[in-house]
Amino acid sequence: MLKLYLDTSVVLKRYLAESGTEIADLLFDEAEAGELTITISMWNIGEVLGVFDTKHRQGWLKEKEFKMAQNNFAKELVKLIRLKAIEVTPIFGSVLAESWNVLMKYHIYEADALQMTTCRYGKNDALISNDEKLVEVSRKSGLQAFSITRDKEEIGHLLQY
């Protein structure tokens, strides 16, 4: 079965409508239907909550929208865990230490290095992101990686559409 690592930017598109939301919705719907497995890390959960909080504090999300986004995220996460449609990877010391090597080799943000390393550790088929630099560096490192906004057709091929 296809196994895709979704970085935080992709997960957020599921709960905050913006460019790429339609592909994020498709990925989550396919996982719920048992057609693929989504992988995220514990780190992604914290980043998602942090973005919700930042958007709320900046006034981009009103109180009701903020609570609804958090609630929808939590409910869907629990549902997908129960369905075994999502794997939430803990942050192991060995994976974190390996991410430091990736950080130093490719000169990228530590969270991105951690996502690349977690993707590789979980034996995912590909990494999906909205971060063009992360996609480029992931490809240079040997990972199959796609941009959720730029590589829609390729993601469709992965899903066999």
Extents of the domains making up the chain: 2-158
Classify residue 36 as left (phi > 0), alpha (psi -120 to 50) or beta.
Answer: beta
Determine if the pTM surpasses 0.75: yes
What angle separates helix 8-15 from helix 63-82, to the nearest 10 degrees? 110
2-158: CATH number: 3.40.50.1010
Q: According to the model, what pLDDT value does residue 160 have?
A: 85
pLDDT means over runs of 10, the chain (161 residues): 96 94 96 97 96 97 97 97 97 93 94 95 97 96 97 92 63
In whole angstroms, what separates CA 83 from the centre of its chain? 18
